[in-house]
Amino acid sequence: MSKSKHPLLQVKNLHATAEGREILKGVDLTVNTGEVHAIMGPNGSGKSTLAQVLAGHPAYAVTAGQVLYEGKDLLAMPPEERAREGVFLAFQYPVAIRGITNAYFLRSAVNAIRKHRGDEELGPVEFMDALDEKLKAIGWDSSYLTRPVNDGFSGGEKKRNEILQLAVLDPKLAILDETDSGLDIDALKTVARTVDKLRRPDNATVLVTHYYRILTHIEPDLVHVLAGGKIVKSGGKELALELEEKGYDWLREEAVVA
């Protein structure tokens, strides 16, 4: 793949249902390498569904459309293959797993991906060395590694844990599903700084968010509004500010008029 800017993700007329109800009704979206996109929209507009469909959640059925990731059919890949190919979703509601330490979980994930890439798997000691700096970046000490995955974590700790995974797994396409929700300002800054540092010309980030706040820390190249299962408006970062001031209702009216 060339170093120059190219489409990493192409979503074309994507329709998806959950429990027989259509939630995505024809989403079109292209994300190029080196870009940060923000997907905003009111509650229930399909933002999280889009994020989960891209990661391969089994509860959603794609009924029409196509998703190309680096030119390959993303929807044909099982979730683990998407992850190994470099797609990462930071969950809105991270899942707790009792009995498994965060360190073991992280190392298993890293090694699954390294193995896929043909790299040597990391032993516990090498892994801890590699992790050290990333832990510091999110303001954690190693005590979080010996705790069970997300078990007994506060909402903010769970979100930080997602960002730690993001930093450790270093994906090409990072999708952050409302990672900013429920974070206090310090946590938000830490998360934003970590995400910002991971930006490179060969990767891309999709921020799914309800709030303008995070976009003051991570500047998006493009902002999209998802409403009623479709992207109804796209624009530059000034669109986010407009949404912050005017809310979403005017877009619905605009959509109806159009």
Chain residues that interact with another protein, rule: CB under 8 A? 55-58, 78-80, 82-84, 89, 91, 94-95, 97-100, 104-105, 108-109, 112-113, 116, 148, 165, 169
Q: Are strands 72-73 and 60-69 parallel, antiparallel or unpaired?
A: antiparallel
Strands (E), the chain: 7-18, 21-32, 36-40, 60-69, 72-73, 87-90, 97-101, 148-149, 173-177, 204-209, 222-227, 230-235
Q: How far apart are CB 211 and another protein at their closest, in Å?
A: 24
Minimum separation from the CB atom of position 150 to another protein (A) = 9
- Taking phi first (over 0 means left), then psi (-120 to 50 degrees means alpha), and beta for anything else, what does residue 146 get? alpha
For the bound state, the minimum distance from the C-beta of residue 95 to another protein, rounded and expressed in Å, comes to 4
Distance (Å, rounded) from C-alpha 52 to C-alpha 46?
A: 10
Q: Of 213, 182, 214, which Cα lies nearest the Cα of 196?
A: 214
CB of residue 131 vs another protein: minimum separation in angstroms? Answer: 15
Please, what is the minimum distance in Å from the beta carbon of residue 127 to another protein? 14
- How many residues are given for the chain? 258
91 or 140: whose CB is closer to another protein? Answer: 91
Query: C-beta of 79: minimal distance to another protein in Å?
Result: 4
Nearer to another protein, 105 or 211 (CB): 105
Pick between residue 52 and residue 190 the one whose CB is nearest to another protein.
Answer: 52
Do the beta carbons of residue 55 and residue 79 sit within 8 Å? yes
Q: Residues 159, 140: contact at Cβ < 8 Å? A: no
Cβ closer to another protein: 13 or 108? 108
Of 12 and 57, which has the nearer Cβ to another protein? 57
Q: Which is nearer to another protein, 78 or 124 (CB)?
A: 78
| CA–CA dist 150, 100 (Å, integer) | 10
Residue 94 is given by DSSP the state P
